[in-house]
Amino acid sequence: MTAGIVYALVGAVLFGLGLYALIVRPHLLRKIIALNVMGSGTFLMLVGTGRSGVGLPPDAVPQAMVITGIVVAVSATALALTLMLRLADETGRAELPGD
């Protein structure tokens, strides 16, 4: 089993765990963390696809996409945390209202 396949499998497991937590957990902070775990799984899968065969240089496009994705993920996390704090100030709870 090559390192690229291991990265892809671990990335898929992380994505699945994040998706499960996103669906099951009602607290917004846990949902934000679940989205970050899903993003990390996606980045690992991209790194796994970017690895070439033995002795070949790795592909630079997936690596550039991962770096760009990390910057976007940090920005989206900051926005989500700000919105969560605003909701908690307004309602006194960090959960979405259930209908």
Please, is 31 exposed, middle or buried when counting C-beta atoms within 10 Å of its C-beta (0-12, 13-18, 19+)?
buried
In terms of residue numbers, what domain contains 28?
3-90
Does the residue 97 lie in any domain? no
CA-to-CA distance for 53 and 56, rounded, in angstroms?
6
Number of domains the chain contains: 1
Q: Is residue 99 part of a domain?
A: no
Residue 5 corresponds to which tokens in the numbers above?
Answer: 């396949």
What's the confidence (pLDDT) of residue 53? 65
| pLDDT digits 0-9 by tens, 24-71 | 998 999 999 999 999 999 999 888 887 766 677 777 888 889 999 999
Distance CA(25)–CA(68), nearest Å, equals 28
Instruction: Mean pLDDT check: name the lowest of 4-18, 46-60, 78-92.
Output: 46-60
- The residue behind tokens 């690895």 is 51
- CATH code (residue 74): 1.10.287.3510
Evaluate whether residue 10 is within a structural domain: yes
Q: Token digits for 16?
A: 């699945």
Query: 21: which 2 tokens?
Result: 């937590």
